[in-house]
Amino acid sequence: MKNLFIILLLCAGMSVQAGKPVPSDPKATAETVKLYQKMLKLQTKGMMFGHQDDLPYGTSWYDVEGRSDVKEVCGDYPAIFGWELGHLELGHDYSLDSVKFSKISGWIKQMDREGAINTISWHFTNPLTGGNAWDTSSKKTVASMLPSGEKNKLYNQYLDKLATFMLGLKTDKGTYIPILFRPFHEHTGSWFWWGKDLCTVAEYKALWRYTVTYLRDNKNIHHLLYTYSTGTVASANEYLERYPGDDLIDIVAFDSYDGAPDFTKTLSNCCKMISAIGAEKGKIAAVSEVGGHIEKNPQWWTTVLLETLRPYNMSYALVWRNAYQSKKEIAYAPAKGAPSEKDFVKFYNDPKTLFLKDIK
Ligand code: BMA
């Protein structure tokens, strides 16, 4: 009976070892396998809270040892820490969000020691035009990066820099720190050069396969859990149209920001679809980016985010950054003295939400 169950799981595209689901990388390190299984288990118990660039800055402070807007409001750190590697490919010392890469490595190591989980996004330079991630002036970028494309060599150089960074993420014991890696995100929209209208389905999938194969097989990197992260979608077909394959992906996720009046409906639909896809594939499901009008609607944390996500088994929901000195962008996480502070404490105290102390 057990064997039959395992065969069924394998047929569903799920990798299994000793009766337990394992990451897509057959050579995933022991710590990576452990994290994968821990996250799958945890997502049935609660939803982790994540924050992008939680430690480097808040809207009015920059690089203050131990400081975190989230901790100042609720007394605990997020369970998931989001980091951004844009400009690493150019050999710069600082990310496009003005965070020093050496500090990012340090924070990843520190928070891993504390028991937190780290996820990395990469808004990287358009290899064909030299413009930024939002440069959608050419529909040939993705094709140019693939083998036989004119920018394949340059892309390999970008990946070499990424690999050096990833291979530098080690614990004091010398083991690699598992990372949720989330490239080519929000590709169901067309605001990044890897977006829907900028490359074909086949090119997008080929880019994923090329990238994972390069990192995994050429660079011997086996501590990454790969996250497929769309924008808001209307159907499972739309979600899966550019899905590169069960042998490449570990986490099925989506990004969605509060904007349209029917946001809760949209968010709920996406969670329903994507948690079902995750369950069917035996993969982790997550809300890889979310954010709302917490200034205008200070009860957003509980009335919108929590109540909409409560029925679903999503592993985590990560809110975007509290950009330093930014007037145009809204701060996506709470901060001491901000209108949504009290509601965030309620959100924190709800048994559904998991913060650092809950996952240690
Ligand atoms: C976007 C914005 C940008 C930032 C980018 C990468 O959503 O926050 O300001 O540079 O993410 O982190």
Token pair recorded at residue 119 = 């996820």
Distances (CA, A) of 19 to 1, 10, 89, 95, 347: 12, 11, 39, 41, 35
pLDDT in tens, 55-113: 999 999 999 999 999 999 999 999 999 999 999 999 999 999 999 999 999 999 999 99
pLDDT at 8 over 70: no
Q: CA-CA distance, 141 to 341, in Å (whole number)?
A: 43
Spacing, Cα 129 to ligand 1 middle (Å)? 20
| pLDDT-derived band at 19, boundaries 50, 70, 90 | confident
pLDDT at 332 over 60: yes
Pairing type for strands 353-354 and 316-319 reads unpaired
Q: CA angle, 269 as apex, 268 and 274 as ends, to 5°?
A: 100
pLDDT at 13 over 90: no
Spacing, Cα 217 to ligand 1 middle (Å)? 30
Average pLDDT for 328-355 = 92
Token pair recorded at residue 60 = 């009015």
Residue 44, SS3 per DSSP = coil
| pLDDT-derived band at 4, boundaries 50, 70, 90 | very low
Spacing, Cα 58 to ligand 1 middle (Å)? 14
52 CA closest ligand 1 atom index = 12
pLDDT in tens, 307-325: 999 999 999 999 999 999 8
pLDDT in tens, 207-238: 999 999 999 999 999 999 999 999 999 999 99
Beta bridge partners of 251: 227, 284
Ligand 1 environment, Cβ below 6 A: 84, 86, 96-97, 123, 320-321, 323
Spacing, Cα 33 to ligand 1 middle (Å)? 30
Average pLDDT for 295-316 = 97
Pairing type for strands 61-62 and 224-230 reads unpaired
Pairing type for strands 284-291 and 316-319 reads parallel
pLDDT at 12: 59
321 CA closest ligand 1 atom index = 8
86 CA closest ligand 1 atom index = 6
Distances (CA, A) of 286 to 222, 227, 272, 275, 341: 21, 9, 11, 8, 24
Which residue in 275, 309, 326, 337 sits closest to 49, CA to CA? Answer: 309
Other CB atoms within a 10 A radius of the CB of residue 246 amount to 16
Q: CA-CA distance, 133 to 88, in Å (whole number)?
A: 13
Contact 95, 86 (CB under 8 A): yes
pLDDT at 261: 87
Mutation test residue for ligand 1: of 98, 321, 322, the one with most atoms within 8 Å of CB: 321
